[in-house]
């Protein structure tokens, strides 16, 4: 067994602990020592595998949206398809997005990471259904709804939003996103 394969479970524990602590404590209050204690390892291993707190945060805050190819989605279903996809993705990765959103409010590196997710994943997906001259505005408008939904449901836990069924969210938020994608600007 190679050294890299033996170290993978430790790396995974570090990332899991980092995601959980960044989500619970925020970036500034999370320390390498806390992460190491939560992972049940020596702090020197965190530094060995990830270099610094900033580099660990960057690794822990990676978020692959795995967006569907919207060019195959009926035009009238774009908004609902996106909202349904985001809800399923967030529910499957419950700690990653809240951690990134919480930290992005107060930390520049996290804000840039979140912006990069939308720039590198959402904008290209929307480019399949939006003209290039309107892409930036439409992507920005979609981002307001998607991030607002994520913030109120998964970070702040607003009871009325949490109480809505996935179907209700898909219908209501999906209708707004549909307008952002297809109505005249």
Separation CA 173–CA 146 (nearest Å) = 8
pLDDT in tens, 71-129: 999 999 999 999 999 999 888 876 677 777 777 777 787 788 888 888 899 999 999 99
For the whole prediction, is pTM greater than 0.85? no
Q: Which of 58-67, 90-99, 131-140, 159-168 has the highest mean pLDDT?
A: 159-168
Q: How confident is the model at residue 63 (pLDDT cuts 50, 70, 90)?
A: confident
What is 125-181 written as a DSSP string?
HHTTTS-TTTHHHHHHHHHHHHHHHHIIIIIS--HHHHHS-HHHHHHHHHHHHHHHH
Separation CA 96–CA 102 (nearest Å) = 10
Long-range contacts of 71-75 (CB under 8 A, 24+ apart): 71/128, 71/129, 73/129, 75/129, 75/182
* Domains assigned to the chain: 3-60 (1.10.10.60), 70-182 (1.10.357)
Separation CA 21–CA 23 (nearest Å) = 5
Count of positions (residues) in the chain: 185
Averaged over 29-53, what is the pLDDT? 94
Residue 23 and residue 98 in contact, taking contact as beta carbons nearer than 8 Å: yes
């Amino acid at each position: 067994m190679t050294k890299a394969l033996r170290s993978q479970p430790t790396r995974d524990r570090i990332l899991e602990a980092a995601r959980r602590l960044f989500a619970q404590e925020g970036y500034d209050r999370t320390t390498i020592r806390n992460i190491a204690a939560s992972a049940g390892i020596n702090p020197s291993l965190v530094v060995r595998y990830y270099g610094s707190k900033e580099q660990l945060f960057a690794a822990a805050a990676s978020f692959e949206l795995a967006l569907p190819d919207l060019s195959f989605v009926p035009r009238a279903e774009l908004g609902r398809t996106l909202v349904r996809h985001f809800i399923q993705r967030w529910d499957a990765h419950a700690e990653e997005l809240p951690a990134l959103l919480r930290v992005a409010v107060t930390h520049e590196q996290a804000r840039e990471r979140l912006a990069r997710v939308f720039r590198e994943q959402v904008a290209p997906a929307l480019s399949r259904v939006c003209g290039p001259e309107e892409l930036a505005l439409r992507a920005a408008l979609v981002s307001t709804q998607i991030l607002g939904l994520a913030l109120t449901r998964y970070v702040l836990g607003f009871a009325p939003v949490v109480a809505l069924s996935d179907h209700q969210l898909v219908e209501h938020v999906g209708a707004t996103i549909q307008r952002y994608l297809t109505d005249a600007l």
